[in-house]
Structure 1
Amino acid sequence: MAPPNAQARRPTLYDVAKLAGVSPSLVSLVLQNPDKVSEKRRAAVRSAIAELGYRPSRAATALASNRTKSIGLVIDDYRNLWFVDLLRGMESALTEHGYQVMLADSRPGENRIREAADGLLAMHVDGLVIAAEPAGTVLTGTGVPTLVAGWRNGVPAEVDLITNDDDAGGALAAEHLLGLGHTKIGHLTGAGGAAAHRRAGFEARARDSGADLRIAGDSGGTSEEDGYASACWLLDHHPETTAIFAANDTMALGAFGAIKARGRAVPADISVIGYDNSVLAKSRYLELTSVDNRSDLVGVEVAKVLLERIAGPSVSPQRRLIDPSLVVRGTTSRPAR
């Protein structure tokens, strides 16, 4: 009798073939190209797989097909909630094709991002997505289909780019505040490509209307602490400000702290808009007005384009913009008279 803690032998492809009454090569074909096998034989193989609890070896599949069925994703800050929906969108489109996403987080800086990308490439991913700053030379010499998610600095014209239309999103935020009657407006921004596009759209629309616009943080980061520091500067130097647009929801959270620390309230004294429509914005406690950049749809489109690129490397470079929308909640109102 085997010891009580002994594990049962894992079923193999040969066990499946024996139970299904087919050859091992046909089982392999069902796993890799089921459409090439008759329905009757597919059903027999799948029934045997279910009965035995067989799980195909990804390593063996990779050796047989010369593909790992994995996609590498490089991000530069796991605290940025934008990546949550991006990843969810990618996985929703990739899973049905048998792909998994391998994530690598890096600190900002071209060398750091290159190291993260090289680590994923060493695992023989079939494709690579760069969602980090700066993209630059990280996009060259990867040897696999590589594209960029979200606006990034230094993206060559020959590289696929899938992003939210952040210029339009910034304009939506400005139109909302202007429509409420705000004319003394502050904007908390950062140094990245996405922040630059959001700033450009917001600034163009606000200045066209003649609004008194103040911008803070254009050379810094976009974390909660960055938002707090920029909002502190803004409110100390321009206390007449009645509305703030933050480059993302996390920065907006920092603005809340700065406003509270000065004995003021949202939205009674100052209206606040974020960007990303993240879980923070949706929380019943904050109820933050935010621009929805549909990062889940960005993720879906990223996956689609990457699969197209894997299937046909000669496909022309693509630029796809996802339209944003504004979700109005409880943090914006007309300015106090």
Structure 2
Amino acid sequence: MTGSGGRVTLNDVAERAGVSRALVSIVMREAPGASDATRARVLAAAQELGYRPDARARSLAGRASHLIGVMFGVGVGAFHFDLLEGLYAAAEERGYNLILSPVTRGRDEAKAAESLQDFRFDGLIMLGPPTAEPLLAGRLPVVVVGWHVDHPRVDVVRTSDETGMAAAVDHLVSLGHRWITHLDGGETLIGASRREAFLAAMRRHGLGESMRVVPGGQAQVDGQRAARQLVEQGDLPTAVIAYNDDTATAVMGVLAQQGIAVPADVSMIGWDDSEAAALSLVGLTSLVQQPAELARLAVQRIVDRINGRRVLQREIVLQPQLHLRQSTTRPRPSS
């Protein structure tokens, strides 16, 4: 027999174990007041019935909830979903659950934060939106993944845009490319960071006059629009560095439709080293971001903050590596 709606309740567990509901509550809250034998009997009954504690009710009861809020953007590419998968795995290892709150075009950071208030979560991991002043900063532990934040109460786990973009430009220049275009990620903090890193890397090689930035975005449709713009303008670069793999593969698809070959006519570099890069028709050279490691470090940091452990360094920056595939080669002799 189970409670209303088919959900197993504390009363069901108490009846199966032959103890009071209050005693079951003590066991489930890991509070003192029950013998080892009683605890074992109650836990066995709970397992037999398939009882799962109500995380929301537990969080409202005044004790540590073991809940981590996660705010993330929808429609920003496959990389964020790889991050989410890594967060679930890392949180489970540490005995925490995740509460997800998406950010969409019609649901901004404020609304996403408001929906999380239904739960007394212990800390927040932000995969988006990339903002310089997270709304919940200073009110509880906050870790952002992917971009730099100056706020002293916000921790950062990210990949170095500067190192990654320098590696991409260095590789192309070593092949003989001079006319290189960056398809940027739009008006976001990460997009701006990679754009500035591209400009700096090109200037370092004395290529300030031949560099070019095409406005883009984070989704495949942004890559398609940018590719059509490049084709319509008629003055194709010899190489393109895209904001991410999603936009890079979209560009490759549009170029192929126009009879423009990658890499013979245009070399292409993406960012993230996602499954899309490995499975694209022409293997995509891409910068490795290690989403599982970023997620592990983010969970480790938020749990340290939740438990009041000393943190020596507020920002963790991983150094990306360039994974070479078939999408880059030397430019044609006439280029």
- Is the pair's TM-score, using the shorter chain for normalization, greater than 0.5? yes
Does residue 1:124 correspond to 2:120, yes or no?
yes
What corresponds to 2:158 in structure 1?
Answer: 163
| DSSP 3-state at the match of 1:138 | coil
**Partner amino acid, structure 2, of 1:198:** R
| DSSP 3-state at the match of 1:161 | strand
> Bigger CA drift: 158-167 or 242-251?
158-167
Does residue 1:102 correspond to 2:106, yes or no?
no
State whether residues 242 and 271 of structure 1, in contact with CA within 8 Å, keep that contact through their aligned partners in structure 2. Answer: yes
> Bigger CA drift: 59-68 or 261-270?
59-68
CA distance in 2, matches of 1:31, 1:285: 53
What corresponds to 2:72 in structure 1?
Answer: 75
What corresponds to 1:214 in structure 2?
Answer: 211
Displacement of 1:174 after TM fit?
A: 1.3
Residue-by-residue CA offset, 1:87-123 (whole Å, 9 max, x unaligned): 12211111123322222222369x8212211221233
Matches within 5 A, 1:10-159: 11-13=8-10, 16=13, 28=25, 31-33=28-30, 44-107=41-104, 112-140=108-136, 143-151=139-147, 155-159=150-154
Residue-by-residue CA offset, 1:298-325 (whole Å, 9 max, x unaligned): 1111111111111118857711112212
CA distance in 2, matches of 1:132, 1:63: 26
Residue-by-residue CA offset, 1:162-208 (whole Å, 9 max, x unaligned): 11112111112112222222222111113222222223333333332
State whether residues 66 and 95 of structure 2, in contact with CA within 8 Å, keep that contact through their aligned partners in structure 1. Answer: yes
Does residue 1:179 correspond to 2:174, yes or no?
yes
**Partner amino acid, structure 2, of 1:270:** V
Does residue 1:290 correspond to 2:286, yes or no?
yes
CA distance in 1, matches of 2:223, 2:179: 18
What corresponds to 1:299 in structure 2?
Answer: 295
The structure 2 residue matched to 1:331, chosen from 307, 327, 330, is 327
State whether residues 71 and 128 of structure 2, in contact with CA within 8 Å, keep that contact through their aligned partners in structure 1. Answer: yes
State whether residues 167 and 201 of structure 1, in contact with CA within 8 Å, keep that contact through their aligned partners in structure 2. Answer: yes
CA distance in 2, matches of 1:35, 1:215: 66
RMSD: 3.5
Residue-by-residue CA offset, 1:222-267 (whole Å, 9 max, x unaligned): 3223223333334444635211110111211231134224321111
**Partner amino acid, structure 2, of 1:164:** T
CA distance in 2, matches of 1:157, 1:310: 16
Does residue 1:272 correspond to 2:268, yes or no?
yes
State whether residues 182 and 242 of structure 1, in contact with CA within 8 Å, keep that contact through their aligned partners in structure 2. Answer: yes
**Change over 3 Å in CA distance of 1:26–1:163 after alignment to 2:** farther
| DSSP 3-state at the match of 1:147 | strand
The structure 2 residue matched to 1:308, chosen from 297, 304, 315, is 304
Residue-by-residue CA offset, 1:8-57 (whole Å, 9 max, x unaligned): 97554465467668776675565455999998776555443333333223
> Bigger CA drift: 242-251 or 22-31?
22-31
**Runs of 5+ in structure 2 lacking a partner?**
none
Displacement of 1:124 after TM fit?
A: 2.7
Displacement of 1:273 after TM fit?
A: 0.8
CA distance in 1, matches of 2:162, 2:91: 28
> Bigger CA drift: 37-46 or 319-328?
37-46
Displacement of 1:83 after TM fit?
A: 0.8
Does residue 1:198 correspond to 2:194, yes or no?
yes
CA distance in 1, matches of 2:237, 2:119: 51
Displacement of 1:286 after TM fit?
A: 4.6
| DSSP 3-state at the match of 1:169 | helix
CA distance in 2, matches of 1:141, 1:240: 44
State percent identity of aligned pairs: 34
**Partner amino acid, structure 2, of 1:178:** V
**Partner amino acid, structure 2, of 1:180:** L
**Partner amino acid, structure 1, of 2:260:** R
What corresponds to 2:226 in structure 1?
Answer: 230
**Change over 3 Å in CA distance of 1:181–1:41 after alignment to 2:** farther
Displacement of 1:71 after TM fit?
A: 1.9
**Runs of 5+ in structure 1 lacking a partner?**
none
Equivalences, count: 330
